[in-house]
Chain A
């Protein structure tokens, strides 16, 4: 199966190298891979490369390259799945996956690789089985301390610490210090949706696609059983109908193999006994039939005077979320015609920021309230061969290179499909100790929100 496995940093420095079969022939395989990757011609895909009768398959995760080599003709899906699973596993054990954490935990990583792969064959990637074999403890960086921040006032520092969700949860190793059970009895459930939208230049909706995942990060001792209740009117497929309203509909749903679905049909409850670590409980997708309106609509108006080369772009952004919701970190990226070096701007509110960089306009809006409308007027000169002098600015076809506007944003506490988690209950606790903390979060963010001009 796998001959070698190695992890490279984003610059190509080898962090981890493990040779399972000893058939590298004395060559520096990692060096070979990086050279081939950087020297690849533009039309070839870097995902699977071939050199000297061995195949290199890699994934990029958190800026690192995780690479496996093989000389056999094996399934690309299995291998890519293995690499993703290894990335998650390393993240679980070391806290997070990054150059720093890997370099601090080299011994742990090698021990993990020893247990997961034997002579290049996959033994197991289940955290339950691996717990029994891994002895090394992970090394974490210094824990976050509020007193390090100079900008935080002293007053209210204690209250801030107790109210805010533990921000170190994302980077805390899951499977460490078995003696310290009481401290970390928590479970985090995230409903994350990715929204892809394509709107044509006349405003009609060409494509809308929602990919959703329910992710569980469990610090609970193994053996605990949890039940997750979803919205009761949740329907799968086009023909199902539940409840009295239009319901919440998705096209397809798939579950993790360890989820028990006996109560799913009747009450939309998922029951599972999660292993410690990260787990994707459910995946669903929805296209073309979004129940809620799209979060953003853009109304661009472009006036271009070919004679003088003056281009005026007026962008009106309307947020169609319910008034209590808001969108965070909204950024609009608009490529501009070649040769534009400066632009003048008028923005409707002071906290926005717009700048020109790398041939494109970047308009940042840190927070957009639901129902609000924001606008910006941008004027620039487009160099180029002067066209026939027209009678002043016209609204004919926009100049070439005024590309599609793409929006990126986050919608906290909002799901585009409408799916909500009603409850998260622990039905069985093996240790019977203090009540564990449960954190449920709903989040949508844009995957590719493109509006054509």
Chain B
């Protein structure tokens, strides 16, 4: 047990958190917790540990919750950043039903976080910046008035500058957009190519809301004729015209001339795409593409050649006279002389399409030129604080959600059963799941012909009898973190028509649950869920009263999807 000040304190904590008798007696439990909180002789490490332990406590009433929050108030003013962040996390987790309390505590922690962002210790600065970004996901205007603190300094290491640029991009609002854009404009001409490219992408991000100013800045940057700048600007333009079609005119006017300065694959692809889709507004589009066609033999990147094929065909539809000849030459080269099979196949496909007729070509190739609704889909709408509150003050914001998901998957799943098709595709990219949203679970891919009967009424005795008479058909282990929220799991299973017969009380070790489901042909699936005391994996055992493998597999994939989704919501 870590050193917390005295033996008595340690005994009290152990008593409160582990002894089921005390847990059952609410008054005694509450008294112990109160005494733990009031301890004054702890040093900063002890305080941080106590705040961590208290995360497991569930206050029983609103009054008790506010009592505890009042007692914890002084921790928020501590001089140790670990204690302040631990207290903030505890507030956010305990007050999950009171969003105004959460917002209030986030306002109070603004000061210490900003102080940490300007700390002498680079590493502390970095951790604080990651947490600032986390907060900005839910409260975008939170740090808008302090934008100056996030201006990059000349001597900072690269990783801190990148984080600051991201933060600047996210805290833009009407009042500070002018200054922020000017600052970012200064970074675009920085000596370090990586940093200037990151700044340009950030301006592209801001351009989705403040299109005109950003397009103007980007056009000016094109005038510098610097290779690393031009390629990124053209890529940004490509993304921008897709989301904000109103700037297409300005972009088309800026494009002529930049083909001389682009040498890398990404830039070329972006330029060619723009010329193909919006070629009718750019006067010299066919001539630029002709240049590319002339040099296609020496072109090293197959992706560029693919893009060139599509773009030229599109341009041919709108300006046939100018493009006919070079289209012919390009197709001839791609089909007869090209060594890369993907390019050759695409050339062949377009050739055959042309043989079918021009109407067919138009039908296939005339795709929409922009899709503003994609912008809304991509931008994660302000996520509720509860979705990341339990990740605050842990390593998750420091890595970023996407990276954390890959790390926890590496640490996890050991499959014992047969390899199942991975239907849990939306459970992998964490940032796009709307949490606590039961609708996503309803959209489960229809796994084969499995239709589970709703409102199955199975008595406990029948379940027990059937359970004992059958043998285990399938066993599997899934990674799991933390305790189980019984209500959430039960409701999620209900949505897919899996009935819960019995569940252990939360916090019981080991934790068990028994589920049953029946499909429309009368086949019964009985399931046991077992959570080991170490809380790192959940064991599923399924019994079937008729031996049918494909329905069994379908049922298991449904169950697995539900459990993974619930697991990912919390972790």
Q: Mark A residues whose CB is within 8 Å of B.
A: 1, 42-48, 50, 53, 55, 57-60, 73-78, 80-84, 118, 121-126, 194, 196, 198, 206-207, 209, 211, 252, 254-257, 283, 285, 287-288, 335, 359, 400-401, 403-404, 406, 447-448, 450, 452
- Asked whether, in the complex, the Cβ of B151 is within 8 Å of the Cβ of A207, the reply is yes
- Asked whether, in the complex, the Cβ of B154 is within 8 Å of the Cβ of A448, the reply is yes
Across chains A and B, the number of contacting residue pairs, with CB separation under 8 Å, is 151
Given contacts A53-B410, A403-B191, contact A77 B81 (CB under 8 A): yes
Determine the distance from Cα of A382 to Cα of B118 in the docked complex, in whole angstroms.
Answer: 37
Determine the distance from Cα of A327 to Cα of B116 in the docked complex, in whole angstroms.
Answer: 28
Given contacts A47-B123, A80-B124, A285-B118, contact A256 B159 (CB under 8 A): no
Determine the distance from Cα of A246 to Cα of B26 in the docked complex, in whole angstroms.
Answer: 56
Q: Please name all residues of chain B whose beta carbon is closer than 8 Å to the beta carbon of A45 when the two chains form the complex.
A: 126, 159, 163, 398
- Cβ-based interface call for B393 (8 A): yes
Q: Please name all residues of chain A whose beta carbon is closer than 8 Å to the beta carbon of B189 when the two chains form the complex.
A: 400-401
- Asked whether, in the complex, the Cβ of B399 is within 8 Å of the Cβ of A450, the reply is no
Which of A73, A78, A126, A211 is the one whose CB lies under 8 Å from B396?
A73
Q: Please name all residues of chain B whose beta carbon is closer than 8 Å to the beta carbon of A194 when the two chains form the complex.
A: 120
Q: Please name all residues of chain B whose beta carbon is closer than 8 Å to the beta carbon of A50 when the two chains form the complex.
A: 399, 403, 407
Given contacts A55-B395, A59-B121, A121-B3, contact A47 B45 (CB under 8 A): no
Closest chain B CB from A340 CB (angstroms)? 13
Which of B162, B396, B398, B407 is the one whose CB lies under 8 Å from A47?
B398
- Cβ-based interface call for B153 (8 A): yes
Which of A73, A80, A123, A254 is the one whose CB lies under 8 Å from B3?
A123
Determine the distance from Cα of A158 to Cα of B194 in the docked complex, in whole angstroms.
Answer: 56
Name, among A47, A74, A255, the residue most crowded by chain B CB atoms within 10 Å (CB to CB): A47
User: Which 7 A/B pairs are nearest by Cβ-Cβ distance?
Assistant: A78-B82, A448-B153, A45-B159, A121-B2, A123-B3, A122-B45, A76-B127
Determine the distance from Cα of A252 to Cα of B566 in the docked complex, in whole angstroms.
Answer: 43
By beta carbon, the residue of chain A nearest B118 is A211
- Asked whether, in the complex, the Cβ of B399 is within 8 Å of the Cβ of A43, the reply is no
Not counting A1-B2, A335-B191, A447-B153, a sample of 9 additional A-B residue pairs whose C-beta atoms are within 8 angstroms of each other reads: A53-B410, A59-B121, A77-B86, A77-B116, A77-B393, A78-B82, A78-B85, A123-B3, A209-B148
Determine the distance from Cα of A404 to Cα of B191 in the docked complex, in whole angstroms.
Answer: 10
By beta carbon, the residue of chain B nearest A209 is B118
- Asked whether, in the complex, the Cβ of B148 is within 8 Å of the Cβ of A207, the reply is yes
Interface string of B316-352 (1 = CB under 8 A from A): 0000000000000000000000000000000000000
- Cβ-based interface call for B297 (8 A): no
* Chain B stretch 442-501: residues in CB contact (< 8 A) with chain A: none
- Asked whether, in the complex, the Cβ of B399 is within 8 Å of the Cβ of A75, the reply is no
- Asked whether, in the complex, the Cβ of A74 is within 8 Å of the Cβ of B394, the reply is yes
Which of A46, A55, A400 is the one whose CB lies under 8 Å from B226?
A400
By beta carbon, the residue of chain B nearest A196 is B153
Determine the distance from Cα of A55 to Cα of B394 in the docked complex, in whole angstroms.
Answer: 12
- Cβ-based interface call for B550 (8 A): no
Q: What are 12 of the A-B contact pairs (CB < 8 Å)?
A: A42-B158, A45-B398, A47-B126, A53-B411, A73-B394, A75-B85, A77-B127, A77-B128, A84-B124, A123-B3, A211-B118, A254-B79
Interface string of B77-108 (1 = CB under 8 A from A): 11111101110000000000000000000000
Q: Mark B residues whose CB is within 8 Å of A.
A: 1-3, 43-45, 48, 52, 77-82, 84-86, 111-112, 115-116, 118, 120-124, 126-128, 148-149, 151, 153-156, 158-159, 162-163, 179, 183, 186, 189-191, 194, 224, 226, 393-396, 398-399, 403, 407, 410-411
- Asked whether, in the complex, the Cβ of A400 is within 8 Å of the Cβ of B3, the reply is no
Closest chain A CB from B45 CB (angstroms)? 4
Q: Please name all residues of chain A whose beta carbon is closer than 8 Å to the beta carbon of B194 when the two chains form the complex.
A: 42-43
Closest chain B CB from A331 CB (angstroms)? 12
Closest chain B CB from A398 CB (angstroms)? 10
Determine the distance from Cα of A406 to Cα of B156 in the docked complex, in whole angstroms.
Answer: 13
By beta carbon, the residue of chain A nearest B81 is A77
Q: Please name all residues of chain B whose beta carbon is closer than 8 Å to the beta carbon of A285 when the two chains form the complex.
A: 115, 118
Which of B1, B123, B179 is the one whose CB lies under 8 Å from A59?
B123
- Asked whether, in the complex, the Cβ of A80 is within 8 Å of the Cβ of B123, the reply is yes
Q: Please name all residues of chain B whose beta carbon is closer than 8 Å to the beta carbon of A123 when the two chains form the complex.
A: 2-3
Determine the distance from Cα of A256 to Cα of B77 in the docked complex, in whole angstroms.
Answer: 11
Closest chain A CB from B5 CB (angstroms)? 10
Given contacts A194-B120, A206-B148, A450-B154, contact A77 B395 (CB under 8 A): no
- Asked whether, in the complex, the Cβ of A256 is within 8 Å of the Cβ of B79, the reply is yes
Closest chain A CB from B134 CB (angstroms)? 12
By beta carbon, the residue of chain A nearest B2 is A121
Q: Please name all residues of chain A whose beta carbon is closer than 8 Å to the beta carbon of B154 when the two chains form the complex.
A: 404, 406, 448, 450
- Asked whether, in the complex, the Cβ of B191 is within 8 Å of the Cβ of A401, the reply is yes
- Asked whether, in the complex, the Cβ of B126 is within 8 Å of the Cβ of A78, the reply is no
Closest chain A CB from B81 CB (angstroms)? 5
- Asked whether, in the complex, the Cβ of A122 is within 8 Å of the Cβ of B81, the reply is no
By beta carbon, the residue of chain A nearest B406 is A50
Q: Please name all residues of chain B whose beta carbon is closer than 8 Å to the beta carbon of A287 when the two chains form the complex.
A: 148-149
Closest chain A CB from B110 CB (angstroms)? 11
Closest chain A CB from B450 CB (angstroms)? 35
Which of B115, B116, B186 is the one whose CB lies under 8 Å from A252?
B115
Q: Please name all residues of chain A whose beta carbon is closer than 8 Å to the beta carbon of B112 when the two chains form the complex.
A: 254
- Asked whether, in the complex, the Cβ of B191 is within 8 Å of the Cβ of A48, the reply is no
- Asked whether, in the complex, the Cβ of B155 is within 8 Å of the Cβ of A126, the reply is no
Determine the distance from Cα of A331 to Cα of B69 in the docked complex, in whole angstroms.
Answer: 51
- Asked whether, in the complex, the Cβ of A255 is within 8 Å of the Cβ of B79, the reply is yes
Closest chain B CB from A376 CB (angstroms)? 20
Determine the distance from Cα of A320 to Cα of B53 in the docked complex, in whole angstroms.
Answer: 54
- Asked whether, in the complex, the Cβ of A76 is within 8 Å of the Cβ of B398, the reply is yes
By beta carbon, the residue of chain B nearest A285 is B115
Determine the distance from Cα of A432 to Cα of B118 in the docked complex, in whole angstroms.
Answer: 42
Determine the distance from Cα of A48 to Cα of B394 in the docked complex, in whole angstroms.
Answer: 11
Determine the distance from Cα of A121 to Cα of B4 in the docked complex, in whole angstroms.
Answer: 11
Closest chain A CB from B191 CB (angstroms)? 6
By beta carbon, the residue of chain B nearest A40 is B159
Q: Please name all residues of chain A whose beta carbon is closer than 8 Å to the beta carbon of B396 when the two chains form the complex.
A: 73
- Asked whether, in the complex, the Cβ of B148 is within 8 Å of the Cβ of A257, the reply is no
Determine the distance from Cα of A400 to Cα of B45 in the docked complex, in whole angstroms.
Answer: 51
Q: Please name all residues of chain B whose beta carbon is closer than 8 Å to the beta carbon of A59 when the two chains form the complex.
A: 121, 123
- Asked whether, in the complex, the Cβ of B153 is within 8 Å of the Cβ of A450, the reply is yes
Q: Please name all residues of chain A whose beta carbon is closer than 8 Å to the beta carbon of B118 when the two chains form the complex.
A: 196, 209, 211, 285
Which of B2, B43, B159, B411 is the one whose CB lies under 8 Å from A46?
B159
Q: Please name all residues of chain A whose beta carbon is closer than 8 Å to the beta carbon of B126 when the two chains form the complex.
A: 45, 47
By beta carbon, the residue of chain B nearest A198 is B151
- Asked whether, in the complex, the Cβ of A78 is within 8 Å of the Cβ of B48, the reply is yes
- Asked whether, in the complex, the Cβ of B398 is within 8 Å of the Cβ of A75, the reply is no
Closest chain B CB from A39 CB (angstroms)? 15
Determine the distance from Cα of A100 to Cα of B403 in the docked complex, in whole angstroms.
Answer: 38
Q: Please name all residues of chain A whose beta carbon is closer than 8 Å to the beta carbon of B162 when the two chains form the complex.
A: 43
Q: Please name all residues of chain A whose beta carbon is closer than 8 Å to the beta carbon of B120 when the two chains form the complex.
A: 194, 211
Determine the distance from Cα of A124 to Cα of B47 in the docked complex, in whole angstroms.
Answer: 12
Determine the distance from Cα of A403 to Cα of B224 in the docked complex, in whole angstroms.
Answer: 15
Closest chain A CB from B111 CB (angstroms)? 6
By beta carbon, the residue of chain B nearest A82 is B45
Determine the distance from Cα of A209 to Cα of B118 in the docked complex, in whole angstroms.
Answer: 9
- Asked whether, in the complex, the Cβ of A125 is within 8 Å of the Cβ of B148, the reply is no
- Asked whether, in the complex, the Cβ of A81 is within 8 Å of the Cβ of B82, the reply is yes
Determine the distance from Cα of A73 to Cα of B43 in the docked complex, in whole angstroms.
Answer: 22
Closest chain B CB from A92 CB (angstroms)? 17
Which of A77, A124, A254, A288 is the one whose CB lies under 8 Å from B43?
A124
Closest chain A CB from B167 CB (angstroms)? 14
Closest chain A CB from B266 CB (angstroms)? 15
Which of A58, A75, A124, A288 is the one whose CB lies under 8 Å from B48?
A75
Which of B3, B124, B398, B399 is the one whose CB lies under 8 Å from A124?
B3
Q: Please name all residues of chain A whose beta carbon is closer than 8 Å to the beta carbon of B121 when the two chains form the complex.
A: 59, 80, 84
By beta carbon, the residue of chain B nearest A45 is B159
Determine the distance from Cα of A83 to Cα of B189 in the docked complex, in whole angstroms.
Answer: 37
Determine the distance from Cα of A4 to Cα of B162 in the docked complex, in whole angstroms.
Answer: 30
Given contacts A42-B158, A74-B394, A209-B118, contact A81 B127 (CB under 8 A): no
Which of A1, A48, A84 is the one whose CB lies under 8 Å from B399?
A48
By beta carbon, the residue of chain B nearest A406 is B154
